[in-house]
Structures are given as C-alpha cells and as structure tokens.
With several copies, the nearest count.
Chain A
Amino acid sequence: MASRNLITDTQNTWCPGCGNFSIQFALRDAIKGLVNEGVPLENIVLVTGIGCHAKMADYLDINSFYSIHGRTLPVATGIKLANPELTVLCCAGDGDAYAEGMDHTIFAAKRNTDITLIVHNNRVYGLTTGQYTPTSPLGYRGRSTPKGTVEEPFNPLTLMLASGAGFVARGTSRKLPQLKDLIGKGLRHRGFAFIDVLQICATYFNKSELYDTRGYELAGHDTGDFDAAWRRASEWGYDRDAPIGFGVFYQKERPVFEEHFPAAKPTREKRADGIRMLIDERR
C-alpha cells in the first residue's frame, strides 16, 4: 500500500512555476511518512475547497472530499465525528479559509477538532483570476480593485492564536523540506493544526523574492510560550516590510472535540430499547 504512487494520472493544470506543486510534493511526502509509521493509507482523507489549490483532490490518489468554496473544515469535522480513527486534513485557499469560510476556521480552532488545515495562501483568488483576498497587501491591484485595495490585510496567525488554535505554523512553497516537516508535524499533532503556507502564485502574485529575502526559519523559539508565539506571529502583518518567520509558532495539546462523542454504532437492540423508552416516557 505504502508503495502506491500517490499521484493520480489526471492531467495537472496548475500554471508552470506555481507554488502548489511544492505543496503537493510536501504533502505527498508527509503522507508517505505517516504511512511508513503504520498509518494505513486508506485512513487518510483529504478535504479541499474550490480554487487552484483544491485541485489537490484530483491529483492525490487518496480518499478525498472535493467540497465547495470556503467549506473544508465543517466537512472535515463531520468526517472526524463519523470516524475519529481517520486522519483528516484540509487543503484550503486563502479565499476559502480567510474570506468565504472565515467563521469555520475560527470554530475549528475553538473546537480543537483533530484536523490539519493547510492554507495555500497565495494572497489572491487564483482560479477566479487574481482578485485581492484578506491577506493581500494594502493597495494590491486586482481586477476587482484596479486602483488598489483600500483594506489592510489581517494576520491569520494572530487570529488563529486568538481563536485558541493549539498548533500554529507558517511555511512557504519556497522551502520544500521545511514545509514537508511542518505538514508532518501538523498531521501528528493531536488537535487542530493550522499551517499557513505562503504560496507563490506564478501568474498573479509572485512574491518569491520577498519570501526568499525576508523569510527566516524560527530558531530557539519556545513553541510552548504563547506570548512568544504572539510576538513572533505579529512581527510581519502580511503588509509592511518585516522579517517573515517560518516554522512552528505555537503548539499545545488540549482535549479534542470528537472524543466527546460516541464512536460506536448503536446496536439494533440498543436502538430498539431506546425507542421503546422514549415512547413509554410519553405515555
């Protein structure tokens, strides 16, 4: 099973140079890592939104739920509730996770469902031709904002910290080995794991140079220290020029949502008894 090639033979339609390729490789390798550790491949489920990033569902030869725009996390939550044994991860776009479905992102963090969320944060709506998103810098000119946006971006890392996320990390499609490592860590974290991936959009927003020159790897950072995490995460606001840290900002375990729900299917007898009781109570 582990030897199955995880890439489908579906024709890939990402633009040449797109950062999604790196994420795909990192993700595939991270999954292989899990499988090597004994996680059955069939226990892994990928949920995606709609957008360039979401084509991952077609390209990876694993269980997948190709959802609608903005709606990865509630589907993933349902899957975890159905079967907590499954390893569930989401590939979402920044349009998906920070605009259309922002509320779900906050609530997944709040609930601490054991899901790994990888946000392909190319800071544009790629598939709908490059309009601004909540993480585009102030003044970004897209086709819906030809004179430049008038809104400052928000910082998804601090938002996730404020929402109670127990694993907050940032990677980039420009640093493949680290990204693979971060995804692996996220998948192994018990609880909601949030990974913002600064992804290059080769066509609409190629910030390779920015991420290469301003990016640095978090080192000597105590991932258990919330305040330190907050300070590091606040360093760069997705806008003005500042050093951009990559790595795990924060990690802390707390009880996961799904463990509070029954895992076993009710037997026929139990069901019949229960119904009888309900009926009798109302007699």
Chain B
Amino acid sequence: MTDLSVLVGGKAGDGINSAGLIVSHLFNQLGYYTYMYYDYPSLIKGGHNYTITRAAERPIGATRDRIDFVLALNQDSVDLHQDIISDKTIIVYDSYRVKSGGQGVDINAFLKEEGAPPVMGNSCIIGAFAGVAGIPFPVLEEVFSRQIPKGLEKNLAVARKGFLAVREATKIPRGSVKPSSLLSGNEAIGIGLLLGGLEAYVAYPMTPTSNLLHFLAGAAEQFPLTVVHPENEISVILMAHGLAYGGKKTAIGTSGGGFCLMTESFSMSGMNEEPIVVVMGQRTGPSTGLPTYTGQSDLHFILHAGQGEFPRLIVAPGDSGQAVFWSQVALSLSWKCQVPAVILVDKTLCEGTFSLWEDLPRMTDEGDLPDSPSVASYRRYAITGSGVSPLRFPPTPGAAIKSNSYSHDENGVTTELPDLVVAMMEKRLRKMETLKKETDLLPAVNTGGEKTAEKTLLCWGSTLPVCSEIAEMERFRLVQPVILSPFPEEALKQALAGTKKTILVEENALGQLQMLCARHGIPVDHAIHRYDGRPFPLEELRMRVREVA
C-alpha cells in the first residue's frame, strides 16, 4: 500500500508551511488522504522550519520514521534529518544553498530568469518534486491555481523550471481516494464553531491558536461575524461575557498562559451562567516553555481552573474531523446548559493539516429560547429541575435581566442567606446532570482497532491518529475519551470492558488522563510519556508500545 512521506525544509521566511501544504494538495489530487506536520522554532526569519506531508489510502495523522522525499531549501533540511533519511530517500535541493546527494536545482538562477522574488523558491522546488516523483504537471497546475491566488503565472513558471530541471526518479501511482478539503485543526475548530452558530470570536494572539484568530478574522466579512483582538486575555474573556449577556454566541481562544489570565472570569461563568466557550491550545510548559511545540499537560488545570465548584464541558478532539464535530457540540451545549465549555487541543492538532474525510455535520438550528412563564415575572436564575434557567437578553421589555458574580437569588440580586445560597448552588450543580444526559447521547468515548481485543491503547486528543494506526497494526483495541468533563465514566468502563492490559499514551510527564482514570477507578497498566514538545512518530511509539504490550 502506498504510504509516502515528504519533508519540505528551509528557513523561516522561505514559505515552508505553504510549500508543505501544496505538497499535501498534490497528494490530495492524486487520490490520497494526507496529513501534514509543521515544525518551527519561535522566530520569524532564519532558523529551520520543516513540514512532513504523509499520504496514504487510509486516514492518517502521524509521521513515520523514514522519509521518501526531501525538498531542501536549506542545509539543515538534509543535515538535521539524517535519522529519517535513508539511501532510498529521494532528495531535491537548492543547489545554491545546499550540498547533498540527490538532484540539485539552481533555484536562484531560475528565479532570476523569471524575475521572480526569492519567496517563490518554494514553488520552484515543488516543481522539482513533481518532476522527480512523476507527478504530471497538470496536477500541479490544478493545485497551484486553486491554492495560490496571487502571482499564479510566475509561480507556475518557476515551478515548471524546477519540474524540467530534474529527472523522474519514481512515479507516484494514483490513489483511489476522492479529493477532500485539507483543514488544519484551527480551521476545523473555526468551521465547527461556525456550524454551531458562532456570532463572535475574541482572542489575543497566542500560539497555537493565533491562526484560528487569523482564520476567523479573514472569514468575518462574509458571515458576518464579530472578530475582536483586544488588549489582553482578561479583556478577551470579559468581552465574551458581555457578548453572551447580549445574546451573541461567542468563542475565545488562547493557550495555557493566556488561559491563566482568564480563569477568574471562567469561574465567573460558573456563577453568572453566561455560556463561555474557550479554545485552549496546549503547548509545552510550564510557563513560556517551548511556545511552538506541543504538549498535553494542561488537562487537570482546565478541569479545575477557577475558584469554587461548577459544571463545565471539556471536549478534546483528536483530528480535524473530530475538531469540526466537537467544536460545534461545545458551542451548542454550552448555550443549551449555560455552562462554560473548553475545546482542549494542542499544537499538533491546531497546526497539523488533515484530510477532512467525514461529511460536515448539520448546522445547529437556532434553538428556541426556553419558555419563561411571563416576561413580567422574568427571573434570570429561576430554579428549575434541570438547573437550566430560561435565557433572555436585553432589551426584553418589562424585565430587568441581572447577571451576577455574587451568590444571588433567582432575580440575580446578591444574597448571603444560607438556604438560598444552597438552593442556588444546587440548581447550578444540577446542570452537571443535565449536561451529562446530553453528552451521554453523543459518542463521548471513541473506540477503534479491534474492538474486543484484550490489549487496549488508551489515548486522548491529538495522539488519536498515531494510536489508531498502531492499534490497527497490532490488532489492539483503541479507546479515546473525547469528552473529559463531565467524565464519561460508564462509557469508558464499557469501552474497556474485557481489556486485560491498558496502555495509556500521553504527551506529558505526570500522566494527566492517568490521574483522571485513577480517580474513577479505571486501571492503567502501562503509561507511555513524551515531553520534549514533539509528537510521537508512528514507529517510535509502536516500538514503545510493543515493549510493554
């Protein structure tokens, strides 16, 4: 079965991310599922950036331990990747800047000939890639014309030079997969939110969710959508409170450091019951850590962030498809149950690009507002069996709608009376049950692999694709809780029923899901950790799984 990997490397500023995406689109057109990993340090120009595009005839989301093609725009692209380069690897390189085996292309000269700017070097090397890989030039033309809106002619011209400058070294066969959209995790989240009825997005830039801000800012005009980038994260979440109070379905995005600044108002949403949806992209911590690398070490922080006790929804999708689905769910349920929700993702998912092979879910309908007996007697925090009170927004003639961060009565007026305090607390806590009923209707625990195998790979978030693949190879069971709060204890126990050995894979040091499993009496036999900021490549993880399986 065809399973190819292409590394594109160069300096920051060489347009490596775009080049990698184009390579992915070439495979998309050729009939493959694709996945692209993007690796970059925290700098703007220079250094070493690279992408790895992998293409196969099954959905994928992980890189491998070998590379079939290297497209080298700098020396590091060859030197730093010797561990995955073999003598079978086909290398094309910019002969002006790189010394290597393989086929050199004098990009500099071609750019001059075409009067093209240096940043078009990536088009040239993509042309060369098509040449060595036996990809027909029309396929490249098709992809360029869709993906490069500006300067198409010139890009095609330099690509053609590259194409012609090399000789075909292999011929990538056509695959059988229908071309699909390629979505980064950030884009998938954005689309999920839009499907859920998003009306406003507020964020302060922070890796790995900045690109969600950029994506929605770009999309804002046509919906229309209110996109705001305020002075800091505190302002971000408070604007979201105001927008929600005003009736606008709103999401906000950040990473751990920014989320810290939001915790106080996150807790406020536990009390004032404004539906707040946070896209929380994990990266390597603690603190500034490795800002452009990945990690799964914020789960317990998110589970407990903010003083006091209140129900919250936490979903942790594992790839772009799940990101679309669960982001929509998060926005919808947050509003339905008037609880804060977190879409907990990480750099690997946010900045990875996946083929979207599932159909889009249906758009959320505008839920009718729950009834309130009469507007004149409207009480924002009316005590109900479900704990969910009717929601109205100003202006509502005849009603004074009072949102309150203090302990309050049904009207939203502050109270310190013990019995009322308890009644209102219990009203709010009942929403946990209501929310649980909703999530029980959903595939809160995703399963795969051999569903009755005695060995289980347990994972969460962006390690889903790599674990899925290994589970299939090893004929293991694959279990991924997608909802982490309210914790789907029964569903998870059911998914694990009959398991003799559970191997948990996490990109952290202390075992975040493991702690949560322990709390719920779910045993884990082995835990595999990684905490250098890099996602698990397929073979490496497979080996580590085999060691303990």
B230 near A268: Cβ-Cβ < 8 Å: no
A85 near B395: Cβ-Cβ < 8 Å: yes
Q: Does B16 contact A (CB under 8 A)?
A: no
A43 near B217: Cβ-Cβ < 8 Å: no
B240 near A78: Cβ-Cβ < 8 Å: yes
Closest Cβ–Cβ distance, residue A281 to chain B (whole Å): 8
Partner of A283, one of B146, B214, B219, B403: B146
Residues 140-174 of chain B: 1 if any A CB is under 8 Å from the residue's CB, otherwise 0?
Answer: 00000010000000000000000000000000000
Given contacts A1-B397, A282-B181, contact A81 B242 (CB under 8 A): yes
Q: Does B384 contact A (CB under 8 A)?
A: no
Of chain A, the residue at the smallest CB distance from B47 is: A13
B223 near A86: Cβ-Cβ < 8 Å: no
B194 near A274: Cβ-Cβ < 8 Å: yes
| Bound-state Cα–Cα, A268 to B287, Å | 36
B-chain residues with CB within 8 Å of residue A47 when the two chains form the complex = 242
Q: Does A255 contact B (CB under 8 A)?
A: no
A-chain residues with CB within 8 Å of residue B197 when the two chains form the complex = 271
A-chain residues with CB within 8 Å of residue B199 when the two chains form the complex = 265-266
A-chain residues with CB within 8 Å of residue B103 when the two chains form the complex = none
A75 near B360: Cβ-Cβ < 8 Å: no
Would you call the interface of chain B mostly helix, strand, loop, or mixed?
mixed
B246 near A81: Cβ-Cβ < 8 Å: yes
A278 near B238: Cβ-Cβ < 8 Å: no
A50 near B241: Cβ-Cβ < 8 Å: no
Of chain B, the residue at the smallest CB distance from A59 is: B413
| Bound-state Cα–Cα, A261 to B250, Å | 14
| Bound-state Cα–Cα, A145 to B28, Å | 31
A-chain residues with CB within 8 Å of residue B203 when the two chains form the complex = 144
B225 near A262: Cβ-Cβ < 8 Å: yes
B-chain residues with CB within 8 Å of residue A282 when the two chains form the complex = 181-183, 187, 356
Residues 220-239 of chain B: 1 if any A CB is under 8 Å from the residue's CB, otherwise 0?
Answer: 11111111111110111011
Interface residues on B, range: 35 or more
Given contacts A40-B397, A64-B400, A264-B224, contact A52 B363 (CB under 8 A): no
A-chain residues with CB within 8 Å of residue B187 when the two chains form the complex = 278, 282
Partner of B234, one of A61, A71, A132: A71
B-chain residues with CB within 8 Å of residue A273 when the two chains form the complex = 222
B-chain residues with CB within 8 Å of residue A243 when the two chains form the complex = none
A75 near B218: Cβ-Cβ < 8 Å: no
Q: Which of A122-130, A188-196, A213-221 contacts B (4 or more CB under 8 A)?
A: A122-130
Partner of B179, one of A14, A67, A283: A283
Interface residues on A, range: 35 or more
Residues 28-48 of chain B: 1 if any A CB is under 8 Å from the residue's CB, otherwise 0?
Answer: 100000000000011111110
| Bound-state Cα–Cα, A169 to B373, Å | 44
Q: Which of A95-103, A176-184, A225-233 contacts B (4 or more CB under 8 A)?
A: A95-103
A-chain residues with CB within 8 Å of residue B182 when the two chains form the complex = 282-283
Given contacts A81-B239, A83-B246, contact A15 B404 (CB under 8 A): no
Partner of B405, one of A67, A83, A103, A262: A67
B-chain residues with CB within 8 Å of residue A25 when the two chains form the complex = none
B395 near A143: Cβ-Cβ < 8 Å: no
Given contacts A67-B268, A144-B213, contact A79 B403 (CB under 8 A): no
A-chain residues with CB within 8 Å of residue B227 when the two chains form the complex = 144
Q: Does B399 contact A (CB under 8 A)?
A: yes
B-chain residues with CB within 8 Å of residue A242 when the two chains form the complex = none
A-chain residues with CB within 8 Å of residue B403 when the two chains form the complex = 64-66
A-chain residues with CB within 8 Å of residue B414 when the two chains form the complex = 10, 55, 58, 66
Given contacts A147-B221, A262-B224, contact A66 B242 (CB under 8 A): no
| Bound-state Cα–Cα, A85 to B190, Å | 28
Q: Does B207 contact A (CB under 8 A)?
A: yes
Of chain A, the residue at the smallest CB distance from B264 is: A68
A-chain residues with CB within 8 Å of residue B393 when the two chains form the complex = 82-83
Residues 400-436 of chain B: 1 if any A CB is under 8 Å from the residue's CB, otherwise 0?
Answer: 1111111010001110000000000000000000000
Of chain A, the residue at the smallest CB distance from B353 is: A282
B394 near A83: Cβ-Cβ < 8 Å: yes
Of chain A, the residue at the smallest CB distance from B267 is: A68
Partner of A272, one of B47, B146, B363: B363
Closest Cβ–Cβ distance, residue B507 to chain A (whole Å): 23
A63 near B400: Cβ-Cβ < 8 Å: yes
Partner of B363, one of A15, A70, A145, A268: A268
Residues 364-397 of chain B: 1 if any A CB is under 8 Å from the residue's CB, otherwise 0?
Answer: 0010000000000000000000000000011111
Given contacts A65-B242, A68-B264, A261-B226, contact A279 B235 (CB under 8 A): no
Residues 286-309 of chain B: 1 if any A CB is under 8 Å from the residue's CB, otherwise 0?
Answer: 011000000000000000000000
Q: Does A275 contact B (CB under 8 A)?
A: yes
Closest Cβ–Cβ distance, residue A6 to chain B (whole Å): 9
Closest Cβ–Cβ distance, residue B64 to chain A (whole Å): 24
Q: Does A57 contact B (CB under 8 A)?
A: yes
Given contacts A65-B241, A86-B395, contact A270 B246 (CB under 8 A): no
B146 near A76: Cβ-Cβ < 8 Å: no
Given contacts A66-B402, A67-B268, A145-B217, contact A42 B397 (CB under 8 A): yes
Scoring B41, B232, B243, B404 by chain A CB atoms within 10 A of each residue's CB, the highest score goes to B232
B44 near A203: Cβ-Cβ < 8 Å: yes
Partner of A82, one of B42, B242, B257, B265: B242
B395 near A42: Cβ-Cβ < 8 Å: yes
B221 near A42: Cβ-Cβ < 8 Å: no
Closest Cβ–Cβ distance, residue A4 to chain B (whole Å): 9
Given contacts A78-B239, A266-B225, A274-B222, contact A8 B405 (CB under 8 A): no
Partner of B46, one of A13, A147, A270, A275: A13
| Bound-state Cα–Cα, A40 to B181, Å | 49
Closest Cβ–Cβ distance, residue A277 to chain B (whole Å): 7
| Bound-state Cα–Cα, A81 to B179, Å | 40
Q: Does A236 contact B (CB under 8 A)?
A: no
| Bound-state Cα–Cα, A57 to B245, Å | 15
Given contacts A65-B242, A275-B360, contact A103 B264 (CB under 8 A): no
| Bound-state Cα–Cα, A266 to B227, Å | 14
A-chain residues with CB within 8 Å of residue B194 when the two chains form the complex = 271, 274-275, 278
Partner of B228, one of A1, A57, A81, A147: A81
Residues 239-283 of chain A: 1 if any B CB is under 8 Å from the residue's CB, otherwise 0?
Answer: 000000000000000000000011011101011111101111111
A68 near B265: Cβ-Cβ < 8 Å: yes
22 contacts between A and B (CB under 8 A): A13-B47, A42-B399, A43-B394, A65-B242, A66-B414, A67-B238, A68-B405, A74-B234, A75-B239, A78-B243, A79-B242, A81-B226, A83-B393, A86-B246, A86-B394, A99-B231, A107-B235, A128-B205, A144-B203, A204-B44, A274-B194, A279-B183
**5 A-B pairs with the lowest CB-CB distances in the bound complex, closest first:** A78-B242, A82-B246, A262-B224, A15-B45, A74-B238
